[in-house]
Amino acid sequence: MARHGGRGWHGRVIAAAVGVTAVAAATSVWTAQAGQPGGGPAAPGVSARPTAPKAAPVSADIAHASDGGAHAVNITIDDGPDPVWTPQVLQVLRENGVKATFCMIGPLAQAHPELVRQVVAAGHRLCDHTVSHDTTMDKKSEAYQSQQIVQAEQQITKASGGVRPMYYRAPGGAFTPYSRHLAAGDGMRPLGWNVDSKDFERPGSAAIVSTVKRELTNGPTILFHDAGGDRSQTVAALRTLLPWLKQQGYSFGFPVR
């Protein structure tokens, strides 16, 4: 899977909000909960996981298929929530009767819990997209990877009111065997994609539509974004693509679990 360029804003903004102490604290929480060597009580001031029960482990293989069958597609929305664009994406999905999977950045979920709860209330699914959206995660230590995944999961779960993410999507596809098994052991299926709409590059809504139509034979899971800048082209493209997909006989599902 190709990595996405031009995403440095996530690292600059979110890393500053998280701070170095959160890395050590979240790692301590993970080691204590997962029974890893060196585990023990959570760091002072760091609460245990929100009240949602721990999910059963799922497959550590990266999911690309749809639970809707051979002629279904999965709409996935990355990098939010965003107070401007997420409501507009939700509106388009609602108008078309489509459910999607929202891959959220932990601190953004924490900053906009009302949006996370709107996503859940509308019947969409949540996905952990890490704390800092670091597309070089696969080059970092296991402690760093666990902090990025576990802390974001906690932030999203708390923001949602206790609904846990069902998937984990590595930024830019930077999965490792370690991160996949860590997420799966925590009940989050690693989630890939088959069609990159390239909407992050803001090539124009017509170009986004054309890319999706051209690449749809690659598989059912389509990648869009609702944050990271002006997403008006994404909203416009979804307004065209969702009815078109229905006209072609596609149904809409969720990524396999």
Cis, peptide link before residue 81, omega less than 30° from 0: yes
Four-CA torsion 3, 98, 72, 82, nearest 10 degrees: 10
**Which tops the pLDDT comparison, 56 or 28?**
56
- CA–CA separation, 208 and 199 (whole Å): 6
Give the model's pLDDT for residue 57.
86
- CA–CA separation, 154 and 49 (whole Å): 6
pLDDT in tens, 53-65: 677 889 999 999 9
Transcribe 199-214 into DSSP letters: GGG---HHHHHHHHHH
The amino acid present at 114, given as its one-letter code, is E
- CA–CA separation, 130 and 127 (whole Å): 9
pLDDT in tens, 84-118: 999 999 999 999 999 999 999 999 999 999 999 99
Is 128 annotated in the active site? no
- CA–CA separation, 25 and 151 (whole Å): 9
Give the residue-averaged pLDDT of 189-212. Answer: 98
Give the model's pLDDT for residue 54.
74
Reply yes or no on whether the pLDDT at 14 is more than 70.
no
* Confidence at 12, pLDDT banded by 50, 70, 90: very low
Reply yes or no on whether the pLDDT at 236 is more than 50.
yes
Buried b (16+ CB within 10 A) or exposed e, 37-47: eeeeebeeebe
Give the residue-averaged pLDDT of 211-221. Answer: 98
Percent of the chain residues topping a pLDDT of 70: 79
Q: Look at phi and psi of residue 213 and say left if phi exceeds 0, alpha if psi is from -120 to 50, else beta.
A: alpha
Across the chain, the runs of DSSP E, i.e. the strands, are 72-78, 100-104, 125-128, 167-168, 189-190, 195-196, 221-225, 251-252
Contact assessment for residue 237 and residue 209, using Cβ atoms and an 8 Å cutoff = yes
Residues 6+ apart with CB under 8 A from 175: 62, 138, 190
Strands 195-196 and 221-225: what pairing? parallel
Give the active site residue among 10, 112, 124, 225.
225
Give the model's pLDDT for residue 52.
63
Give the model's pLDDT for residue 53.
67
Query: What does the block give as tokens for 173?
Result: 């596809």
**Which tops the pLDDT comparison, 45 or 85?**
85
Percent of the chain residues topping a pLDDT of 90: 77
SS3 state of residue 169: coil
Q: Between 113-121 and 142-160, two packed helices, what is the crossing angle to 10 degrees? A: 70
pLDDT in tens, 140-198: 999 999 999 999 999 999 999 999 999 999 999 999 999 999 999 999 999 999 999 99
Transcribe 79-108 into DSSP letters: S---TTHHHHHHHHHHHHT--EEEEE-HHH
Give the model's pLDDT for residue 117.
98
* Confidence at 2, pLDDT banded by 50, 70, 90: very low
- CA–CA separation, 29 and 35 (whole Å): 10
Is 61 annotated in the active site? no
- CA–CA separation, 80 and 84 (whole Å): 10
Pick the CATH number of 8-39+60-252 from 3.20.20.370, 1.10.260.30, 3.40.50.620, 3.30.230.10: 3.20.20.370
Give the active site residue among 4, 10, 78, 112.
78
Please state, rounded to an integer, the average pLDDT across all residues of the chain. Answer: 85
Give the residue-averaged pLDDT of 132-147. Answer: 98
SS3 state of residue 10: helix
